[in-house]
Amino acid sequence: MRRLATSILFLAGACSSGHPASPKITFDLTRLDAEGLTGGPGALRALHYEFCIPAGEPHAAEVRGVDATAQFMPRSRGRIGCTTEQVLVVGSTHQPGYRHVLERLAALSYVQRIEQAYFE
């Protein structure tokens, strides 16, 4: 019982502090506001993130069900380095419940890590 209470407190603290409970999320969420935006007044912007999933409609459908912003890029490897058997997925923090979305994505067994995406 004590272990369960400790785990609950840890997870609650992780969520409220902005730090993800999952080590699969490699970027800092503490700089984002409640809308999923970062930056100063007049310069707010969303962060984009990327991850790889196995190719195939069942995995894509599951990700679509979790993340409404998911864009699938089967011809790109991304900075994250998806293999030829994987599909690059890019999403955005500018969505309701973005932290919960990221945690749900990280909980998928086939998602190895979620990194911030940079567009050049």
Please indicate, yes or no, if residue 81 is contained in any of the structural domains: yes
Q: Is residue 85 part of a domain?
A: yes
Does a structural domain hold residue 54?
yes
Q: Which residue range(s) make up the domain with 102?
A: 22-117
Model pLDDT, residue 113: 97
What is the predicted pLDDT for the residue at 41?
87
Residue 3: what pLDDT?
46
Burial class (CB in 10 A: 0-12, 13-18, 19+), 89: buried
pLDDT of residue 19: 52
Write phi, then psi, for 46 (nearest 5 degrees): -85, 155
- Burial class of residue 114, CB neighbours in 10 A (0-12, 13-18, 19+): buried
Each residue of 5-31: pLDDT tens digit?
333 333 444 444 445 468 999 999 998
* Residues contacting residue 59 through CB under 8 Å, at least 6 positions apart: 53, 87, 110
Distances (CA, A) of 32 to 10, 29, 44, 68: 20, 6, 10, 19
Is the pLDDT assigned to residue 4 strictly greater than 70? Answer: no
The count of structural domains within the chain is 1
Q: What is the CATH number of the domain that holds 111?
A: 3.30.70.260
What's the pLDDT tens digit per position in 54-98?
999 999 999 999 999 999 999 999 999 999 999 999 999 999 999
Asked if residue 73 is part of any domain, the answer here is yes
What is the strand order of the sheet 48-54 is part of?
71-73, 86-92, 48-54, 115-117
Choice between 1 and 89, residue whose per-residue pLDDT is larger: 89
Residue 84 lies in a domain: yes
